[in-house]
Chains A and B, each alone.
Chain A
Amino acid sequence: MSRMEILRFALRGLAANKLRSFLTTLGILIGVAAVIMLVAFGEGASQGIQQSIQRLGANTLTVSASFGGGGGGFGAGGGAGGRQEGPRTQARQLTLEDARALADPGQAPSVKSVSPVVTANSATAVYEGADHTISQLVGTYPSYFEATNKPVETGSYFVNDDVLAARKVMVIGRTVAEELFGAASPVGRQVSVSGVPFTVVGVLKEAGSSGTQDADDVAIVPLPAVQQSLTGFGPLGSIIVQATGAGTTESAQAEVTAILNQRHGVTPAGTADYRILNQATLQETVSSTIGTFTALLGAVAAISLLVGGIGITNIMLVTVTERTREIGIRKAIGAPRSAILGQFLVEATVLSLVGGLSGVLVAFAGTRFTVAGIEPVLVPSSIALALGVSVGIGLFFGSYPANRAARLRPIQALRHE
C-alpha cells in the first residue's frame, strides 16, 4: 500500500462529501486568517503610533502648564495660598523667564536646547485671494525645528536674529503651501495672517498625517512676532526641552523638575502646577499597552482557531462512525491497520492544511487594505504559528477518530449499521 494510494483514498473520501469538507475547511480558514490579520492589525497600529511619537522628536520633554486639580489660585488675582484645594500654593503659568532658567547650562547640564512655544489655533492666512485656515500657528525659537524633528525642505529656517528682531518671517508646512500657492514656490512670498504680513522663508518636509490630525497643516514663526501680532504677551503654551542624548532624558527631566519647583514655589509634598511629558516614557507606555492589546486580539483569534479544530474532530468522528461498515469491508479484504489509520489521518490533515493555507492567502489579501487609518503589518511568526497550529490540530484531533476506526475488529465493524 503506497503513500499515493492512501492519499487517493483520502481525497476520494473527502470528495464524497464536498459540502461537509468545504464547511470544515472554512472553519479552519477563518481561524487562521483571523489570527494572522488581527496580529497584523495590532502590529500595524503599534508601529503607526510609534512612528507618530517619534515624529514628535527624539529625546524631548514637553513642559506644559497644569490647571487640573488644585488650580484654584489661578485667575483669582493672586489669591492667598491657604485655600482648601490642597497644599499647592499658587498655580503659575509658564513664562519666558522659566524657559530662560531651563536653558542655564550650570543648573541644567543635560539640557541641549530650550524652545518656548505659543500656539495660535485656527489663524487664517491669505495670499492673493486664496485663503486657508492654518490649524496650528506656532511661535517659537529656531531650536524648535531640531527638537521636534521638523526639517526644512526648500528655503531656510529662521534664525536667532529673526527672533531678536521679531521679524515677520514664517516657515510653513506642506499642506499650507499647497493650499495657498498650489504648485508655485512659496519662498519669498508674503502671506497675510489676520491682517499681519509674514514673509515665507521655508517649507517643511512632508511629515504625513497622524490619525485625524494633519501634521503638515502648520506654520512656524519667531516667538515675538506671533506675540506682537496675534496672541499678545501672555503665558507660554509649552516649553520644549531637548536633552543632550537618549541616555540623559531622565536626568534632564529631573533638572527641569528641580528648576521649575524652585521657581514656582512647589514644595516636595505639593502638587506641581506643570506637567512634563517624556517622549521615551510615553513611547514605552504606549508600546506595552499596544502589546497587551495585540496579545488580547491574538487570544480571541486563537479561540476561533481552536473551535475550527474541534469542528475537524467532530467531522472526523461523524465520518468514521458513518463509514464503520466500509472500514469493516476494507479490513475483511486485507487492509492493514496502518492503511486505515493513514487514510483518516490524511483526510484530517488535508482538511486542516487546505483550510490553513487558504486562511493565509485570505490574510495576505486582507492585510493589503488600510482599515481605520491602520496599515496592517504581517508578522511572519504569526503566519508560521497559525499554520502550524492548524495542521497540528488536524493531526491531533484527527488521530483520535482515526485510531478508533483502525482498532475495530472486522466483525464488529461489519455488524455496525
Chain B
Amino acid sequence: MSVPVLEVRDLVKVHGEGDARVRALRGVCLTVERGDYVAVMGASGSGKSTLMNILGCLDVPSSGSYLIDGTDVGALGERQLAILRNRKIGFVFQSFNLIPRMSALANVELPMAYGGVPAAERRSRALAALERVGLSERVHHEPNELSGGQQQRVAVARALVTAPALLLADEPTGNLDTRSTEDVLRILDGLSASGRTIVVITHEDDVAAHAKRVIRLVDGQIVEDRRQAPVDGLPPRMTTEAAG
C-alpha cells in the first residue's frame, strides 16, 4: 500500500482568546488514500472551512499534526511551505480568486511561474488544462469578461495544472447556478476517474453525492464517515450514468 495522500492526527484549532475563544476543530483524525474523492459536509460553523484552510497550508493548527503526501507540514519552514503549496496542493476557492487584469491563460500559468517551469512548457500545459475544463475558446479573456462558471473552471484549471497530489475545493459550487454547478462537478468527476485525489467541502447533498466517501463534521468533530464507492473505482455518479 502506498503512502496516504493525507494523514491527519488529532487536529485542534482554537480561534480567539478568553471569552471569545472558539474551538473550531476538536481533535480531527483522518486518512485519505490516493485516488479517493472525499466530500466533507457540515453546517455553517462546523469547522469544515477551518479544516480545509489548514489542509491547504493557508492556516496553522493550534495542535496536532498532519502529513501531506508523506511530508509532515508542521515541521516545514516558510519557504518549504510555499513549495509544498505550489507542488502538492491545488486549491479551488468558493469565490474563484482569480487575479484580476490577468488573462485566463496567465492565471493558469501563474503557479508554474512560481514553480520555475520554463515558459514554453508552461504555455502548453496551461492550454491543455484550459482545454480539459472546456475553455479553449476563452484563454485570452480576463476574469471580469467571464461568467462565474467559466471563472471557476479557470480556477480548477489553475489548481490541476501543476498535477498536485491533492486537489482541495472549498464550496466550489457555492456561488454558481445549477448549470455551472453541473459543469464543475462533471470536471471533478472526470479528474477523480483519472486518478486524482480530491477533497471537496460542501453543505449540499447533491454535491456530496458525487464523492466516493462522505465525511460529516459537527462542532469540529467527525460524526460520520460513509463510503459510497471504492477508492480505486469510478465516482458513484459516473457508474450510475454508465449503467443507465
Q: Mark A residues whose CB is within 8 Å of B.
A: 1-2, 5, 12, 16, 325-326, 328-339, 409-411, 414
Contact = CB atoms under 8 A, between A and B. Distances in A.
In this complex, the member of B78, B82, B86 whose beta carbon has the largest number of chain A beta carbons within 10 angstroms is B82
A334 B86 contact: yes
B99 A330 contact: yes
Interface in B88-135: 89, 91, 93, 97-102, 110-111, 113-116
A328 to B, nearest CB: 8
A334 B82 contact: yes
A417 to B, nearest CB: 11
A334 B99 contact: no
Contact of A1 (B58, B93, B102, B116): B116
B210 interface: no
B83 interface: yes
B interface residue count range (under 10 / 10 to 19 / 20 to 34 / 35 or more): 20 to 34
B64 to A, nearest CB: 17
10 contacts: A1-B113, A1-B114, A1-B116, A325-B97, A326-B99, A332-B85, A332-B91, A334-B82, A335-B114, A414-B93
Interface of B: 53, 56-60, 78-79, 82-87, 89, 91, 93, 97-102, 110-111, 113-116, 158, 162
A333 B91 contact: yes
Contacts of B83: 334, 336
A409 B87 CA distance: 18
Contacts of A339: 114
B82 A335 contact: yes
Contacts of A335: 82, 86, 114
Nearest to B53: A411
A331 B100 CA distance: 15
A333 B110 contact: yes
Given A12-B101, A336-B82, A410-B58, 14 more contacts: A16-B101, A325-B97, A326-B100, A329-B97, A330-B114, A332-B58, A332-B91, A333-B110, A333-B114, A334-B83, A334-B87, A334-B111, A337-B82, A410-B85
B130 to A, nearest CB: 16
